[in-house]
Amino acid sequence: MYNRYYIMKLLVTGGTGLVGSSIKEYVKDDNENTYKFLSSKDVNLINEGEVNALFNNFRPDVVIHLASRVAGLYGNMNDNYGFLVDNLKLNTNILENCKKYKVKKLINILSTCVFPDKNVTYPLTSDQILNGEPHSSNEGYSYSKRLLFTGSKLLFNQKESFDMPDFSVVNIIPTNLYGEHDNYHLVNSHVIPGLIHKCYLAKDNNTDLIIKGTGSAKRQFLYSGDLAKIILMFAYSDEYKGQFLSLVASVPSSHEISIKQVVEKIVKSFDFKGNVVYDTSYSDGQPAKTTDSSEVIKYFPNFKYTDIDHGLNWMIQYFKENFETVRK
């Protein structure tokens, strides 16, 4: 899957979340390198002192920065200010300690929400993220991610003066993620795990399945294991030493599907026979955020993405088998 060029210490923030857990699956047999998969129970990344102590004790070579305060569409709409402030503090603490402890490589995970609501060309490419204001529904979170990108760029630009000549930054902008280790909360979740939990309960309780919005919004869905592979390939590659890279991680635009189509796949997998009701009083968010899949292929020409039917089936099976213990 990837090459190991040298023994190193890797810090994974958000290490017990969706993508962090997927990375852990891939490296569990790696005895050469030292990993620290960080959870919010270990360190409060919003606390400057705690983050400094973490870096001082572990001294990572590579930081894979996954952690952020996240929620779904409606969670963001209800607390845009809180999402801005908390994520700004968190990201600034990571950047400051990368500088202080001379980290060799920083891999940031951004989000397609950083793209402008208008003044963009579809499919979206990484060079368009600052072309205008983001969508108002999640502007707090969006701006915090934009400032992570900008802060990383400014740090990179001054790397020589900070005695970090080989410092490199990789900004990865994934499309909508899904996978077994997601948060299945009924409100504060990504769209797919929330739908899976709702369908499970509707079938179990013999009630209607209520979907917020019309279901017409279209999205490209990226399996978390695929993103984990991309991250690790960059983490272990020495080819891009001393560079600042940004790329969209996305399945091809031909794989874009509507929320209604996702609902239909989940309903079929659960063999749910009840009514599916779309509550059109709720917003759909942006109608589409079509992204370009060529940027990953530029770096890894033979990369293959997981088909959504396979990914959904694995995820639903995992949810059923681990219902009592999954995050929800």
What single string gives the DSSP state of each residue in 253-298?
A: GGG-EEHHHHHHHHHHHHT--S-EEEETTS---SSB--B-SHHHHH
SS3 62: strand
Q: For residue 271, is pLDDT > 80?
A: yes
- pTM comes to 0.91
C-alpha distance across the termini of the chain, in Å: 32
* pLDDT in the model for residue 73: 59
Q: What band does 74 get if pLDDT is binned at 50, 70 and 90? A: low
Q: CA triplet 75, 22, 24: central angle to 5 degrees?
A: 125
Q: Which residues are annotated as catalytic?
A: 141
Provide the Cα torsion 173, 179, 185, 187; round to 10°: 40
Residue 208 · residue 275 · CB < 8 Å: yes
| pLDDT, tens digit (0-9, with 9 covering 90-100), for 219-248 | 999 999 999 999 999 999 988 889 999 999
Report pLDDT for 30: 83
Q: What is the mean pLDDT of residues 319-328?
A: 94
8 Å CB contact between 259 and 211:
yes
Question: Who wins on pLDDT, 283 or 172?
Answer: 172
Average pLDDT, the chain: 91
Which residues share a beta bridge with 48?
Answer: none
Question: Does the pLDDT of residue 3 top 50, yes or no?
Answer: no
pLDDT of residue 278: 96
Domains contained in the chain, CATH given: 9-180+221-254+290-307 (3.40.50.720)
Neighbours of 100 (CB within 10 A): 12
